[in-house]
Amino acid sequence: MLKKWKKHNNDEKKGTAPKRGFKFFTLLSLILLCISLSIFFVLMHKTIIYTHFFYIPIILAAIWYKKRAIYIAILLGVMHIFFSILVTSPTLEIFMESMGRASMLFIVAYAIGLMSQRCKDAREEMKSAKERYHAIFEHALTALCVVDSDGKILLANRQFEELVGLQAENLRGRHWTDFVAEEDAERARDYCESRWKGGAPACSLFKFINSKGERKYVNACMEPIPNSKECIISLLDITELKNREEELRKTCKKLEELDKMKRDFLNVAYHEMRSPLAPIVGYASMLEMCAHTEKERKYVRSIERCARQLEKMINRMLELARIDGEAVKLSIERASVRKIVEQAVATLLTEAREKRHKISLSVPDVEIECDKQKIMEVFTNLISNAIKYTEEGGRIEVVVEDRGEDIKCCVSDTGMGIPKEHLPKIFERFYVVDTSLTRKSGSLGLGLSIVKEYVRMHGGKVWAISEVGKGSKFFFTLPKRQEEEKEKEKAKEEKGEK
Amino acid sequence: MTGENEMSGEIERKMGMKEKKEKKEERRNGKRRKIRVLIVEDAAYMREMLEEMLNQQRDRYEIVGFAANGREAVEKYKELKPDIVTMDLVMEVMDGIQAIKEIKGYDKKAKILVITALGTPEYERESLEAGADACLWKPFTVKNLFEVLERLVSEEQGGG
């Protein structure tokens, strides 16, 4: 087929220009011969049977010049009528007969001309279709080849030649799987077999080794050509993509290692940061016991309070690192939300009293499945923020709404509020609304991240609305039941059934 | 195996009787027996602080020794037989978890209080699984320390 293709191209290049002159002179001489013969017959034998000779140039003209043969038919027909009138006495019969013969000439010329024209059109159409498909085949961005039932290459495009690094003539008779790397060779053979049978996924990834010994990754697609014993194979060179994927994978691995290194470092760092706090808090607590004056007690308490604050920050950083490392697990139990809120508020009463805040609670007596400590931490964080960011004498409200499947909690304050542009980011790690030197100190931007993570771990959502100068409202939802508990119950039920 | 169990049961019974006798004697003498504490800590400043704290209740607690690593702790335990061991977790030579296992392997009744700055639930679980009786996270106040020590003592007495 490859050979055929080349031959066909060569024929086209040579063209039919020299033949044109030959046809014209042949036809011209045939017509002249016919005319001389007719003159001869008319003058010598006074007959018009010679018209049968006219078919020869007309048929030839119809084949070569298609419908244009009709002009020759007209010329010869008119001549025939003219001679028949000239030779014999012009009777109606003779006139009709000569007219009939002339018409036959037209009909033959027209019919053969038309047929010939149709044939030519069809040939041209086929040629142009062939050219079109050849252009598509040759200029496709994918390497393509046509193989026979044995997998031998019959035809290949330029991309294929480039991919394997061989010219078309060197490809003839070779098997396409010859270029598949050894480790993939068997898989490639299996793939071919199953594709012939119509099975296997259409595409498969193989390693290729070209004539220069370069390794390439190709995505091969083998498709049998209908009604033939040939197959078309397209090979997409994805080496570059693969290399990038490999690079990305390496980067990912490196990042994972770095992340692990960070976590390990943080774990060590937290231990080392917390250790020196022990004597600070320990000795302060001892000093407090033996302090003589109220002033001394006040100083010592201050040391202890600050150390505790530092401890809290360190703990939060550690907790987030643990959440990232998926080390935090929930210990689910049934707990009363009202009790959790009351306990959280109790730990913050001193702070609230110091700032003369009014805290009101509206919590229904509802039980949910949750990690009590973590949900208490969520409430403590939100209420503590409300206390911190509200001017003295503010109002803080904790409202819990029982919604059947879940509960919706809201902690609202009458504080300074959060500018709109910061709202979507406040739950992000390390995000602090105010980083200026005039900011309210004592925040690392970790509290709300922990709130978000704890609520997320429970399968709830957290969000906030706020108006600068008027206050903020922090909402979160918690499902009443946890999946794990549900599963346990299911298992129990199943056991019971058995 | 049965023989061994019987033997150890007998020893335990004898030891229990001995302890009861001691307690009775103490009561008779009109004073409480001091609780003997072994302090296991790699940081000198922490050892010092624990000593200072326990010295606040000299008549109740008696420090019988110090160990700076797990190996030393096991040896000192065997030598001194303290009532309570305060155990750090991060230490050279042998870590606290291993030391707890070895001490518990030697004496099931040993009371071990883990005092560490590794304040995560995982370490708490690991310590308790190894056999520790209670955990105290650094930093802590003198009040925290005595609370947890008293709890351990009452558990021991209740158990005894």
Task: Establish if A134 touches chain B: CB-CB under 8 angstroms.
Answer: no
Mean pLDDT over the full length of chain B = 82
Q: What gap in Å lies between CA A224 and CA A196, rounded to an integer? A: 7
Q: Which residue of B has its CA nearest to A289?
A: B142
| A381: nearest Cα among A334, A340, A434, A436 | A340
pLDDT at res. B115: 93
Task: State pLDDT tens for residues B78-118.
Answer: 999 999 999 999 888 888 999 999 999 998 889 999 999 88
- Asked whether A157 and A145 are in contact (CB, 8 A), the reply is yes
pLDDT at res. A70: 84
Of A275, A285, A322, which is closest to B138 when you measure between CB atoms? A275
CA distance B30 to chain A (A): 28
Q: Which residue of B has its CA nearest to A311?
A: B139
pLDDT at res. A412: 93
* Interface touch A282/B120, C-beta < 8 Å: no
Instruction: Give the tokens for residue A283.
Output: 């000795």
The segments of chain A whose pLDDT lies below 70 read 1-19, 46-50, 87-90, 200, 432-444, 484-498
Planar angle of CA B102, B108, B114, nearest 5 degrees = 60
Q: What gap in Å lies between CA A26 and CA B84, rounded to an integer? A: 128
Chain A residues within an 8 Å CB radius of B54: none
ipTM of the predicted assembly exceeds 0.95 = no
Query: What are the start-end ranges of the H helices in A46-91?
Result: 55-65, 69-87
pLDDT at res. B3: 44
Chain B residues within an 8 Å CB radius of A278: 46, 49, 117, 138-140
DSSP code for B42: S
Instruction: Give the tokens for residue A17.
Output: 């220009």
Of B120, B121, B140, which is closest to A278 when you measure between CB atoms? B140
Task: Establish if B78 touches chain A: CB-CB under 8 angstroms.
Answer: no
* Interface touch B56/A274, C-beta < 8 Å: no
Helices A17-45 and A55-65 cross at an angle (nearest 10°) of: 160
Query: What are the start-end ranges of the H helices in A144-238?
Result: 158-164, 168-171, 182-196
Task: Establish if A305 touches chain B: CB-CB under 8 angstroms.
Answer: no
Q: Which residue of A has its CA nearest to B42?
A: A275
Q: Which residue of B has its CA nearest to A301?
A: B141
pLDDT at res. B159: 54
CA distance B77 to chain A (A): 25
DSSP code for A59: H
* Interface touch B140/A286, C-beta < 8 Å: no
Q: Residue A368 phi/psi, 5° resolution?
A: -130, 165
Query: Residues near B154 by Cβ (< 8 Å), separated by ≥ 6?
Result: none
**pLDDT tier at B13, thresholds 50, 70, 90:** low
Chain A residues within an 8 Å CB radius of B46: 275, 278-279
Query: Residues near A279 by Cβ (< 8 Å), separated by ≥ 6?
Result: B45, B46, B49, B139
pLDDT at res. B129: 92
Q: What gap in Å lies between CA A431 and CA A421, rounded to an integer? A: 13
Task: Establish if B49 touches chain A: CB-CB under 8 angstroms.
Answer: yes
